[in-house]
Amino acid sequence: MEAFAHRSLLDIEGLTRADVERILDTSEAFLQVSRRPVRKVPTLRGKTVVNLFYEASTRTRTSFELAGKRLSADVINMSVSASSVKKGETLQDTCRTLEAMHPDVIVIRHNASGAPNYVASKIGCSVINAGDGMHAHPTQALLDAFTIRRQKGTLENLIVTIVGDIAHSRVARSNAHLLNLFGCEVRVVGPRTLLPAAVDSLGVRVFDRLEEGLEGADVVMVLRIQRERLAGALLPSLREYARTFGIGPATIQYAKPDAIVMHPGPMNRGIEIENVIADGERSVVLEQVEAGVAVRMALLYLLAGETTEAPAVGEAD
Ligand code: NCD
């Protein structure tokens, strides 16, 4: 099998449609590994993965850790609150220190947009962006694409409506870029104050009214209101937001009858999504979490293990 053409994964814009398909196809094999009684393969034995998280994370950090461990890599989690960064160490010094330990992959989440690109320019190993500021979250877009493809049987020409805080969302940005590669109609809906200034450059259709944005949608992607990134009063009140843009039984009816509902988590229940939808039959939130481990295994394998064989689907240990 031809080697993967990239050393690092910094954003979706750097990938072709064929790259995305390769990642998703590889993820299928690793999903099967995660569903076996023995969820481990020797693929990355002797390789080292460092998780460097400067921002809070539940799903992304644990799924990268599990992904590395299921591939038999040595995984180190650097939790920044317990590290020298709290003592004033710069990102550059942290990188130099890590490099001296010879990692094969650094997975980084940072509140500054561009931090993963900076690390990749300073260090010789592979770097995976696990979310940087308001810029990109490529592994989330890939796991979302994987989930959509499994649920809908295709990624092509779907109508995908992203609802909520688009301005602060790296998830929305990466998803829009990926879905555009497959000819999807990507729509965004939300209050004008939560749309990014350069929304036109995302290749999306903008809707002010939720009902119109949902009309005929195959996929509804609900975003978290990013309270930690909301500078000033961009929203009159969360109750008002829930009434106008919340996804509940009344509003979901505007989407297709078989539309799926996604959320990257963590969810603000009762604000952007009602419980009956979050826990209802259209929700694929937990499928997204399961996909997250498989897609991250595929990425670690493609970036760090190109000399070894990926397991065939269904292969026994
Ligand atoms: C997202 C993130 O951190 O960007 N969460 C995640 O990775 N699952 C979305 C969010 O925080 O709202």
Does residue 264 have its Cβ closer than 6 Å to ligand 1? yes
Q: Say which residue the tokens 């009063």 belong to.
A: 233
Q: pLDDT tier at 307 (50, 70, 90 boundaries)?
A: low
CA distance 27 to 111: 28
Tell me which residue has its CA closest to atom 12 in ligand 1: 224
Which numbered atom of ligand 1 lies nearest the CA of 130? 7
Preceding amide of 116 cis, omega within 30 = no
Does residue 229 have its Cβ closer than 6 Å to ligand 1? no
- Secondary structure (3-state) at 315: coil
Which residue type does 284 have?
V
Instruction: Tell how far the Cα of 266 is from the centroid of ligand 1, in angstroms.
Output: 7
Does residue 166 have its Cβ closer than 6 Å to ligand 1? no
181 Cα distance to chain centroid: 16
Active site residues: 59-60, 87, 109, 137
Q: Between β-strands 159-163 and 219-222, what pairing exists: parallel, antiparallel or unpaired?
A: parallel
Does residue 221 have its Cβ closer than 6 Å to ligand 1? no
Instruction: Tell me the percentage of the chain whose pLDDT exceeds 90.
Output: 79
Average pLDDT along the chain: 92
Q: Using the CB atoms, write b or e for 39-70: b if 16+ within 10 Å.
A: eebebbeebbbbbbbbbebebbbebbbbbbbb
Which residue type does 287 have?
E
CA distance 270 to 275: 7
Residue 141: its H or E element: helix 138-152
Instruction: Tell how far the Cα of 166 is from the centroid of ligand 1, in angstroms.
Output: 12
pLDDT(65) > 60: yes
| pLDDT tens for each residue of 128-180 | 999 999 999 999 999 999 999 999 999 999 999 999 999 989 999 999 999 99
Does residue 137 have its Cβ closer than 6 Å to ligand 1? yes
Least confident span in 64-68, 235-239, 305-309 = 305-309
Which numbered atom of ligand 1 lies nearest the CA of 140? 7
Which numbered atom of ligand 1 lies nearest the CA of 60? 7
Residue 152 structure tokens: 């809908």
Does residue 174 have its Cβ closer than 6 Å to ligand 1? no
pLDDT(83) > 70: no
Residue of 128, 103, 71 whose CA lies nearest to 293:
71
Residue of 98, 99, 142, 108 whose CA lies nearest to 128:
108
